[in-house]
């Protein structure tokens, strides 16, 4: 029986981190964000640990449960500054990243809900040790494989509250 409460999602994420041999502190575990994007659908979301986020750079761990999806969004310019540029490095599992570009003829993933809000279909598959850099203001979304995935994100300053989601129902 899968526990979809915030505590249950956090426990699953911590178990995945242990399985992947990624050490985090108790303080980091306590401040893990369970992002459900206001949808209340456990198939949509991710678990986030922010290591550092300052006016120059950001480093995070993204824990994506099995087949969980982070919905399509982009990081627009804010206050005259470029939007966030981020590099995703897969640490464990497999992540399917979709970005702007030539659509993949037969993508491996399917959105978990409201497909009309998933508009970019250029598929990049990241296995452990592989990485991809997403330019600022580029639409993207991603989904974990059957085991889930852990992705280290290295980026310019993160201003998640300004992320522009394709789905108007999403609240960050």
**Segment 36-72, tens digit of pLDDT:** 999 989 899 999 999 999 999 999 999 999 999 999 9
CB atoms within 10 A of CB 145: 19
CB atoms within 10 A of CB 38: 14
pLDDT value of residue 4: 72
DSSP state of 115: G
CB atoms within 10 A of CB 128: 14
pLDDT value of residue 1: 45
Say yes or no to pLDDT of 31 above 50: yes
- Are 160 and 73 in contact, with CB atoms under 8 Å apart? no
Tokens representing residue 53 in the block? 């986020």
pLDDT value of residue 2: 55
CB atoms within 10 A of CB 161: 7
Phi-psi region of 50 (alpha: psi -120 to 50; beta: other; left: phi over 0): beta
* Predicted confidence (pLDDT) per residue in 77-130, tens digit: 998 999 999 999 999 999 999 999 999 999 999 999 999 999 999 999 999 999
In terms of pTM, does the model score above 0.85?
A: yes
Higher pLDDT, 4 or 53: 53
Look up the CATH superfamily of 6-165.
Jelly Rolls (2.60.120.10)
Share of the chain above pLDDT 90, in %: 92
């Amino acid at each position: 029986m899968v526990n979809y409460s915030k505590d249950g999602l956090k426990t699953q994420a911590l178990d995945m981190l242990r399985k992947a041999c990624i050490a985090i502190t108790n303080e980091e575990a306590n401040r893990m964000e369970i992002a459900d994007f206001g949808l209340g659908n456990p198939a949509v979301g991710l678990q986030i640990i922010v290591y550092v986020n300052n006016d120059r750079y950001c480093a995070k761990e993204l824990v994506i449960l099995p087949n969980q999806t982070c919905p399509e969004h982009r990081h627009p310019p804010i206050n005259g500054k470029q939007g966030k540029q981020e590099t995703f490095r897969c640490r464990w599992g497999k992540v399917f990243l979709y970005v702007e570009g030539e659509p993949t003829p037969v993508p491996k993933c399917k959105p978990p809900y409201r497909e009309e809000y998933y508009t970019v279909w250029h598929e990049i598959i990241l296995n452990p040790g592989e990485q991809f850099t997403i330019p600022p203001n580029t639409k993207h979304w991603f989904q974990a494989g059957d085991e889930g995935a852990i992705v280290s994100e290295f980026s310019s300053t993160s201003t998640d509250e300004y992320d522009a989601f394709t789905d108007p129902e999403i609240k960050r």
